Chain A
Amino acid sequence: MSTLERPGASAGLSGGGGITKRQAWGIVWLLAAALFAWLMLGVWPDWVNAILTSKKAFASAVLNGLTLAGLYFLVASGFTLVFGLMRNVNLAHGSLYLLGAYIGYEVATRSGYWLLGVAAGFVVLALVGLVMQVLVFRRLEGDDLRQTLVTIGISIVAADLMLAVWTGTTYQIVTPAWLDGAVGLPIITAVKSNGEAVFLRYPFYRLVVLGVAIVIGVGLWLMLNRTRVGMMIRAGVDDRAMLSASGINVHAVFAIVFAIGAGLAGFAGVVGGSALSVAPGEDVRYLLASLVVVIVGGMGSITGAAIGALLIGLAEQIGLVYFPTYGIVLTFVIMVVVLAVRPQGIMGKAR
């Protein structure tokens, strides 16, 4: 291990030598990934158990962190897209999440079809986003601060009206039977005295959430990098004026992005409301998550949102297990460290 690290360190200093800085980082990441894979899949010796409480607690925390990260990614990807393109800090994003969750709940319970609720959450919120963009933000274009203030006003009114309609009750969106239950994972939590391995069982639905987040993440990436609309959006993130000058209807692009962003928030609301619960105050929680994820990951970057969501989701859940009353500090520390080292965020572009 030490022989591997030495050339990397010297390359970092001199810039020449056998291995480039990039390769050295690659080796470090590979080692970290190997360590993580062993922690998850291997059978722990006693001393690791002594440090990290128990394999079961650790593995559950990691899996919970991953599913939470999936949820955070769904919410934050819309936020980061909207910000990257329009420089619009949508502080009503948390309200969009909560509204999506309530709508999903209503549709799912009344129709009896959970999938219909999910679709409704996306479609209705996409329409709400479209209306917000056309009626409100287009009028305040180029005025960052006023746009932000308006979103704050909207979030206050929205939170209050949602409280009026759905009261302070906590709702749980019921998932269909085919998503219920737990599945065994190839993760050995303990070995019984007779040599039989005990595998970790984990709720199937949470794994589905993670899978959906990955699919949507890949889909977004493909849309941004392989389609014409995606090309326009990326061009708009880099230079809005130039995109407009080259004959693209920027307002149409803005409207599409806002609809996608808001729709994803609503979608995440239904999916998250099925995994956790729907209650007033969740809007603030997911707004904070989006803010931190985007600050950490870098504004306007989907990959950044994925990395940020992973960091924050894992930090939150692992923090919950190992130092419960200081869990939030861990999230905060990550944000501060990223700001100190890389103010524009991990994947953000320097300006």
Chain B
Amino acid sequence: MTALAPTDKPAAQSILEKIGAGNIVVLVLLALYPAVASDFFLTQIGAYSLILGMISLSLMLLAGYGGMVSLAQISVAGIAGYTVAIFGLNNSGVHGFGWPFWIVVPIATLVAAGASALIGVISNRTEGIYTIMITLAIATAFFYFTQQNYSLFNGFPGYTGIRAPEFWGVNWRDPMPFYYLCLGFAVVAYAAVLYGSRSTYGLTVQAVRDNPRRMRALGFNVTAHKVVAYFYAGIIAGLAGVLLVWFNGRISPGTINVSAAINVLIIAVIGGMRHPIGPFLGAVVVVLMQTFAIDIVGAERFNTLIGLFFLVIVFVSPDGLLGLWGRIKPHLAQESLRSGP
């Protein structure tokens, strides 16, 4: 905890300056993080937060820019994870073709993105709040399917013994390389979303979110834009799914169950969906709570704690911690002016 505090606090402040310099400061701090963090903080907190943050980022992309709250993003990540287990190596004695990682990872990402686009096609038959219902139904159905089906998903036990590869003389399973691997992927995803949100396509998607009828009248293919957004979100969630399966070393229906699907939403809502940094912020908060709440309320009642925290955030600040910060910041600035010399 003490090791994390100094790196985390300035990070949260500089992000909210919402300028390029802020991003660079955060990146430098995150890159220097391994210098102060133990192996536990590096993987169980650092890498895990980055992975969960990426999955939530894919939700933030859809919900924040597209107005489509999809609860099936963990299923998309899970599809990538299962693809890695099936085409790569696993210990379960089912499938496991043993293809090299540089083929498996692109395949897994593309399969996930394709699945995500398909979910987009299905859920875009209706609009608004229906999306949540349809994607939740898809996520739940997929969870039950992986649990029942042994020929493809190996049922309840799932796949074990999936390992991050070794290349360039580096064993990417070790804490520090794995942290940098996650950081690299997360930074690329974050930058892509930030850049994409300012591109013509990104602006079009945001316009579709704000007024689909007008955009349709202007001649834009609303559904196609949304489905493409699902595809991009699927790439991010798919990459995160690959990292997640390497992180856990296994994938089973438990990884993608309904509470996992809802966890992704909780992270995005707690962090805030106005800016791509929100999901990462939320992931850090949730992972820290997950790790240290055990000391406060005991491991058993963690869900009550996170649920209540989530309820408070939804009631107090619909834009999550980012929105909360946005409201407090002006007051703080005034305080510092008054108390200043």
Give residues in A with beta carbon < 8 Å to B: 87, 89, 91, 139, 144-146, 148-150, 152-154, 156-157, 159-161, 163-164, 284, 287-288, 291-292, 294-295, 299, 324-329, 331-332, 335-336, 339-340, 343-344
Q: A164-B301, A339-B125 are in contact. Are A327 and B265 (CB under 8 A)?
A: no
Residues of B within 8 A of A335 (CB): 134, 137, 141
- 30 A/B residue pairs, CB under 8 Å, sorted by A: A87-B129, A89-B133, A91-B132, A144-B128, A145-B129, A146-B318, A154-B307, A156-B266, A156-B303, A157-B304, A157-B307, A157-B311, A160-B302, A160-B303, A284-B140, A287-B136, A287-B140, A288-B137, A288-B140, A291-B134, A291-B136, A292-B137, A325-B148, A326-B145, A328-B145, A329-B141, A329-B145, A336-B122, A339-B126, A340-B125
Chain A's nearest CB lies how many Å from the CB of B82? 15
In the assembled complex, B138 has its CB within 8 A of some CB on chain A? yes
Give residues in B with beta carbon < 8 Å to A: 69, 122, 125-126, 128-130, 132-134, 136-138, 140-141, 144-145, 148-151, 258-259, 262, 265-266, 269, 300-304, 306-308, 310-311, 314-315, 318
The secondary structure that dominates the B interface is helix
Residues of B within 8 A of A160 (CB): 301-304, 307
The secondary structure that dominates the A interface is helix
Of the candidates B148, B258, B269, the one having the most CB atoms from chain A within 10 angstroms of its own CB is: B258
Q: Which residue on A lies nearest to B304, using beta carbons?
A: A160
Q: Which residue on B lies nearest to A296, using beta carbons?
A: B137
A299–B132 Cα distance when bound, in Å, is 14
Residues of A within 8 A of B148 (CB): 324-328
Residues of A within 8 A of B310 (CB): 149, 152-153, 156
Chain A's nearest CB lies how many Å from the CB of B325? 19
Of the candidates A150, A295, A328, the one having the most CB atoms from chain B within 10 angstroms of its own CB is: A328
B126 touching A344, Cβ below 8 Å: yes
A343 touching B311, Cβ below 8 Å: no
Residues of A within 8 A of B269 (CB): 149
Residues of B within 8 A of A327 (CB): 148
Chain A's nearest CB lies how many Å from the CB of B293? 12
Q: How many A-B residue pairs have CB under 8 A?
A: 112
Residues of B within 8 A of A326 (CB): 145, 148-149
A343 touching B314, Cβ below 8 Å: no
A145 touching B69, Cβ below 8 Å: yes
B308 touching A149, Cβ below 8 Å: no
Residues of B within 8 A of A152 (CB): 262, 265-266, 310
A153–B306 Cα distance when bound, in Å, is 9
Chain B's nearest CB lies how many Å from the CB of A59? 24
Residues of B within 8 A of A331 (CB): 141
B300 touching A164, Cβ below 8 Å: yes
A146 touching B304, Cβ below 8 Å: no
A340–B122 Cα distance when bound, in Å, is 7
